[in-house]
C-alpha cells in the first residue's frame, strides 16, 4: 500500500495548491482539541486562505506567532502542522511538501496513523478529480 507522502508526491501536479493546503489543514484538524485559542485561530486562517477568504499576510502573521511558541527542542508541537498549513508555497517548499511535513508532524504527535492520513489524501484526490470531470 502506498503511503500518504508518496500519494502527495505522485499527484503534486494533479491537484491544486489550494487542495494541498486543505489537506494540510485536515491534518492539522486532528490536533484541534489540543490547541489553544491562538492555534485554533491560526488553523482557521489557513482554512480561509485555502478557500480564498484570507490573505497570505494573515497566514504569515499567525505563522510568526506560532513559531515563537515552539518548544525549540526539534520535536513536533501541536503548532507544527498548522505552521506548515500556513506556509507560503515556494520552490523550496511547494504546498504538497508542506502538507506532507504536516502529516509527519501528526504522526510524530501520534494524532493519526499513516493509514488515516492516506485516507484523508485519497479523499481529497478523489474529490478534486471528480470536480474536474
- Note the pLDDT of residue 74: 80
Query: What is the residue-level pLDDT of the chain in tens, covering all 133 positions?
Result: 579 999 999 999 988 999 999 999 999 999 999 999 999 999 999 999 999 999 999 999 999 999 999 988 888 899 999 999 999 999 999 999 999 999 999 999 999 999 999 999 999 988 877 676 6
Contact indicator for 30, 54 with CB cutoff of 8 Å:
no
Alpha-carbon gap, residue 102 to 70, rounded angstroms = 15
Cβ atoms < 10 Å from Cβ of 2: 12
C-alpha cell at 29: 484538524
- Note the pLDDT of residue 1: 53
Q: Which domain holds residue 8?
A: 4-132
Smallest Cα–Cα separation from 23: which of 119, 133, 108, 109? 119
Count of structural domains, the chain:
1
Residue 71's φ and ψ, nearest 5 degrees, are -65, -25
pTM: 0.92
Contact indicator for 66, 38 with CB cutoff of 8 Å:
yes
- Note the pLDDT of residue 27: 97
Smallest Cα–Cα separation from 96: which of 28, 17, 3? 17
Amino acid at each position: 500500500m502506498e503511503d500518504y507522502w508518496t500519494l502527495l508526491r505522485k499527484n503534486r501536479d494533479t491537484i491544486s495548491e489550494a487542495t494541498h493546503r486543505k489537506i494540510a489543514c485536515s491534518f492539522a484538524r486532528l490536533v484541534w482539541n489540543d490547541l489553544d485559542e491562538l492555534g485554533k485561530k491560526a488553523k482557521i486562517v489557513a482554512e480561509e486562505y485555502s478557500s480564498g477568504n484570507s490573505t497570505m499576510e494573515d497566514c504569515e502573521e499567525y505563522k510568526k506567532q506560532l513559531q515563537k511558541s515552539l518548544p525549540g527542542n526539534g520535536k513536533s508541537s501541536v503548532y507544527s502542522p498548522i505552521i506548515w498549513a500556513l506556509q507560503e508555497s515556494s520552490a523550496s517548499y511547494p504546498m504538497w511538501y508542506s502538507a506532507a511535513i504536516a502529516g509527519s508532524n501528526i504522526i510524530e504527535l501520534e494524532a493519526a496513523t499513516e493509514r488515516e492520513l492516506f485516507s484523508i489524501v485519497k479523499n481529497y484526490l478523489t474529490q478534486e478529480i471528480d470536480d474536474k470531470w
